[in-house]
Amino acid sequence: MKIISSIEELRDQLSGQLRTAFVPTMGNLHEGHLSLMRLARKHGDPVVASIFVNRLQFGPNEDFEKYPRTFQDDVAKLEKEGVYVLFAPTERDLYPEPQEFRVRPPDDLGNTLEGEFRPGFFAGVTTVVLKLFSCVQPRVAVFGKKDYQQLMIIRNMSRQFALPTEIIAAETYRADDGLALSSRNMYLSPAERAEAPALYKNLNFIADEMRKGRRDIAELEHAAMAQLRQQGWNPDYISVRKRSDLQAPSGADLAKDEPLLVLAAAKLGQTRLIDNLEI
């Protein structure tokens, strides 16, 4: 596996490659990330991964400096997966001058759910992803469904800018007890780790009730939030939305069985976890 930090060297290395499959990450890789590499290989060749902790998507009170950086372990894992190139730019490589041009998602998609609680987050994500796409020029790129809103925003951005990159969605990779794998899970204490699957259980409760025909969405959301609070969580949201645009479903949407999902974000101790489940 070649480890490259400069954009110029990366472009030279990938010159002439027409089927590149790309998986962007922020490192601290776990089995969920590695499953993305395997899916990428099914859709293209060679597989290129990136590791870059993107300052633009962190708010002023978020954990940019504390974000776990495990580069040597990450390299070993990617080598075992047969990744061809690891693009690991420094901030100076990727942002040699202040990144004054930004990509901002539309407000109805970028300022709801995660965007409401993390202002500016998605502008930071879309900006770095567009720049990484420009560097790698992949035919396909793989993103996990755990970050469902991010996946939708990147897919819409790619379509509206007519980028030659197909966005592939990967199913959420879970531990045996249902917890979605996340780099932030390492912050959980043993007691918090034992409690953490409750978030997914609450999503399943709402999904099961709606599959049975319940349509009192606000009551279901409220009950799930209350249950989490009783168990020591501090939830930001549990919300049923349409898969097509992440807007709240209307009565007419429910009547015609519009495809839905339920999304959640909640703090357990000092660790903020997100998850979702298609209904």
Banded model confidence at residue 65, pLDDT cuts 50, 70, 90: confident
Residue whose entry in the numeric block shows the structure tokens 């954990």: 63
Q: At what angle do helices 31-43 and 71-80 cross, to 10 degrees?
A: 40
Q: What is the pLDDT of residue 64?
A: 87
Residue 68 pLDDT grade (very low, low, confident, very high; cuts 50, 70, 90): confident
Q: Which residues of 42-52 are buried (b: 16+ CB within 10 A; e: fewer)?
A: ebbebbbbbbb
The whole-chain average pLDDT of the chain stands at: 96
Q: Any idea which residue has 């900006």 for tokens? A: 127
Is the per-residue pLDDT at 60 higher than 90? no
* Inter-residue long-range contacts of 117-120, CB under 8 Å, 24+ positions, other chains counted: 117/236, 117/237, 117/265, 118/59, 118/62, 119/59, 120/57, 120/59
Given this model, what pLDDT does residue 181 score? 96
Percentage of the chain with pLDDT > 90?
A: 94
Beta strands 140-144 and 21-25, pairing class: parallel
Q: Which of 219, 227, 236, 247 is nearest to 275 (CA)?
A: 236
Burial of residue 257 (number of CB atoms within 10 Å: 0-12, 13-18, 19+): exposed
What is the pLDDT at residue 168?
Answer: 98
Which residues, listed in sequence order, are joined to residue 238 by a DSSP beta bridge?
Answer: 264
> Is 62's pLDDT higher than 90?
no
| Window from 40-54, 58-72, 158-172, 245-259 with minimum mean pLDDT | 58-72
**What's the mean pLDDT in 56-66?**
86
Residues 15-26 have pLDDT tens digits of: 999 999 999 999
Do residues 13 and 86 touch, judged by C-beta distance below 8 A? no
Instruction: Provide the percentage of residues in the chain whose pLDDT is more than 70.
Output: 100
Q: What is the pTM of this model?
A: 0.94
Mean pLDDT of 55-64: 87
Active site (catalytic) residues: 33
Please compute the mean of the pLDDT values over residues 67-95 and round it to a whole number. Answer: 96
Residue 36's pLDDT band, with cuts at 50, 70 and 90, is very high
pLDDT tens per residue, range 163-213? 999 999 999 999 999 999 999 999 999 999 999 999 999 999 999 999 998
